[in-house]
Amino acid sequence: MSTFDDISQEEMAVFLQEADEQIQLLDEDLVNLEKEGANSELLQEIFRAAHTLKGSSAMVGLNDMSHVAHAAETVLDLLRNHALEIDTGVIDALLHSLDTLKILRQNLLSDSPENIDVQPVLDELEAVANRDKTSSSQKTGGKDVIDHSLIAEAWHQLETGLILYSIKAEIVPESPFPAVRFFQALDELSRFGKVLNSIPDRQAIENGSEERFLQACFAGTSTEDEIQEILANIPDLTNIDVRRVENEKAEDISSPTPSKQEENNSGTQERRSGQKVQTSQTVRVDVKLLDKLINNVGEMVIERNKIRQSIRMLEAKYENDETISSLRDTSANIIKLVSELQESILQARMLPIGTVFNGFPRLIRDLAQKVNKKVELIIDGQETELDRTILEQIRDPLVHLLRNAVDHGIETPEKRIAAGKEEKGVVLLSAYQEQSYITIIVEDDGGGIDIARVKRASIAKGVISEEEAERLSEEEALNLIFRSGISTADQITEVSGRGVGMDVVRTNIESVGGSVSIESRLGEGTRFTIRLPLTLATINGLLVSSSGTTYVIPMSSLVEVLKIAHDDIQHISGHEIIRVRDQLLPVYKLESTFGQNMDKAGDIDEMLVVIIRSGVRTAGIIVDSVMETQETVVKSLGKYVGTIRGIAGATILGDGRVALILDTATLVTGITAN
């Protein structure tokens, strides 16, 4: 990490954490600003973020970052003072400045930082700030916005006991006498207090100023509502805004300073939802410390399972022994405390999925502009929490799905209108918790997936033959889009069309123990459903054995356990199949997967089959015995063992034995693909 001579590593770390908060806020709010227009509360929130970033970066000597933030702050100040209209060009410039801030921030973490040229974005922001200078000057009597020094001057004139107000108002366009109306406004205000200064000033108004935008500093004892009522009685006066000025800080003139109660622990304002934010005492903890804690707790869970196993053995050996009974009670308390500690540490690793979701409105906006479509992104369930490790893995798959929704799913405005739809397409991104799993849905109301085109593309790529394509069900045909190289795009674009991405989606999701399924109706839209475990640190699993080896099957993949006769296994095209409630399922002997001895398999009349599912695929694995369900700590096989297809990791059981955790997604894919 780059540091400066007078800035310590710790101080730089604090700056980066605070900068991340402000950058994330800007990322969320700038896109909302384009949709909501001149929302004063939203503008103030964005302005404060830019202002804070400007000050903190200047404090640690990051001049480029400070200059960019300052230039963005200038544009935002024009917006909140009605001297600049919000449009695509303004938002583009602000977003480009945000992109530059992100690059500058990332550059700090590089061992060999690059020289970033910030001049182009500074020029763009300056051009935006100055493009309406003529009209802005007309609005404010020769000044772009009300000068902050006017408020400072007003404070010096303020007498004890009076309240200072910042007042803004406009004259309706059709009014023939703007100067007369402003004169009336100042005259009425003077009856209830003092007009300390204004733009335009009283002299300009008396000289017949054509100004149609008034800003004034007023001191009096009236309330905001009373002042509002006074001005509302003046004809042709509109957009009246009366705000009490709480302090002398120039940057806080246009809106009241938030009180201590209105700030959260990280120093940022409460959100604009209108709901009270419950503040809580929080501290920042290094992720490495959390990882170490979870590893230590994992070891404690293993020992907990050993204690539980030992107590069972002792109780069986020394029945009704008082010492053993006392030891059992003590161990029960220890087991309970370890479980509670484990739950607390796991909770500390959880993050709201909104930390990933909040960057997607910008993504959708930019993609929609590139492909000339109108798209609205609706997000729900941002508060749903997920293990941070899984969050890091799920970002790319979601990006791929959203890009495909915009490029492949949503039609052009012309096509949508022709199909009887609204010209603006809708993409829904939602998340919710189901027991110990998280479900994420990416859905669009676009044209849906043409299964016939998917089959043709798959045949052309040699993924399947024409005969196989004929036999595929609709569900199976839809899942062909997850095969590498399959694309139905008419042409290659910046967004998609090369047949990459969807296979990555499935691979990344399954790598964290999740699954993805797809539903689609031609002309109506497409829905992707992702199921993910809450955490990768532990799993609930079913213990089974095969040829003397114990395996753990994740409960998330378990469908049911069946007992079948050896004769129930049928052979079709060289594959073993069983029939389960009128459904044919492929089965595989677990020991054969890992090259174990299978000599005794043919001598067994009855066999146990564990039915497992991954996504839409279902298969059966034949095992020797089924034991119990148990919470297990996931351990890596290590670099010496390496990667074994079908094995996700290992765990230590209560009796000290090692059990292998099955990668059911890989197993099911391999079984059903054979």
The letter for the amino acid at 319 is E
Contact between 421 and 383 (Cβ < 8 Å): no
Beta-carbon count within 10 A of 80 CB: 20
What strands lie across the sheet with 658-662, from one edge to the other?
625-633, 538-546, 549-554, 658-662, 647-652
Q: Does 73 qualify as catalytic in the annotation?
A: yes
Tokens 């753990």 correspond to 552
Contact between 24 and 358 (Cβ < 8 Å): yes
Contact between 585 and 575 (Cβ < 8 Å): no
Beta-carbon count within 10 A of 555 CB: 17
Q: How far is CA 393 from the centre of its chain?
A: 12
Query: Nearest Cα to 60, choosing from 111, 129, 4?
Result: 4
Which of helix, strand or coil describes residue 49?
helix
DSSP state for residue 482 in the 8-state scheme: G
d(CA 454, CA 489): 10
Query: Nearest Cα to 523, choosing from 449, 588, 579?
Result: 449
Q: Which residues contact 494 (CB under 8 A, 6 or more apart)?
A: 370
Q: How far is CA 322 from the centre of its chain?
A: 55
Catalytic residue among 197, 404, 479, 508: 404
- Altogether, the residues listed in the chain come to a count of 674
Catalytic residue among 51, 70, 82, 400: 51
Contact between 19 and 56 (Cβ < 8 Å): yes
Residue 269 pairs in a beta bridge with 263
Half-sphere exposure of 360 (CA within 13 A, CB side): 29
Q: Does 566 qualify as catalytic in the annotation?
A: no
d(CA 94, CA 122): 10
Beta-carbon count within 10 A of 412 CB: 14
The letter for the amino acid at 517 is S
Which of helix, strand or coil describes residue 82?
coil
Q: Does 51 qualify as catalytic in the annotation?
A: yes
What is the secondary structure of 590-631 as a DSSP string? HHHHTT---GGGGG-SEEEEEEEEETTEEEEEEESEEEEEEE
Which of helix, strand or coil describes residue 67?
helix
Q: Which residues of 657-674 are buried (b: 16+ CB within 10 A; e: fewer)?
A: eebbbbbbbbbbbbbbee
Catalytic residue among 28, 67, 70, 73: 73
Distances (CA, A) of 496 to 367, 487, 490, 526: 11, 9, 10, 17
Distances (CA, A) of 205 to 148, 184, 212, 238, 297: 21, 10, 11, 18, 74
Distances (CA, A) of 273 to 169, 279, 352, 429: 26, 15, 17, 19
Structure tokens at 308: 């539980």
d(CA 201, CA 189): 14
Longest dimension (CA), the chain: 110
Residue 353 pairs in a beta bridge with none
Beta-carbon count within 10 A of 596 CB: 13
Q: Which residues contact 99 (CB under 8 A, 6 or more apart)?
A: none
Q: Which residues contact 351 (CB under 8 A, 6 or more apart)?
A: 385, 386, 387, 388, 391
d(CA 186, CA 198): 9
Q: Which residues are catalytic?
A: 51, 73, 404
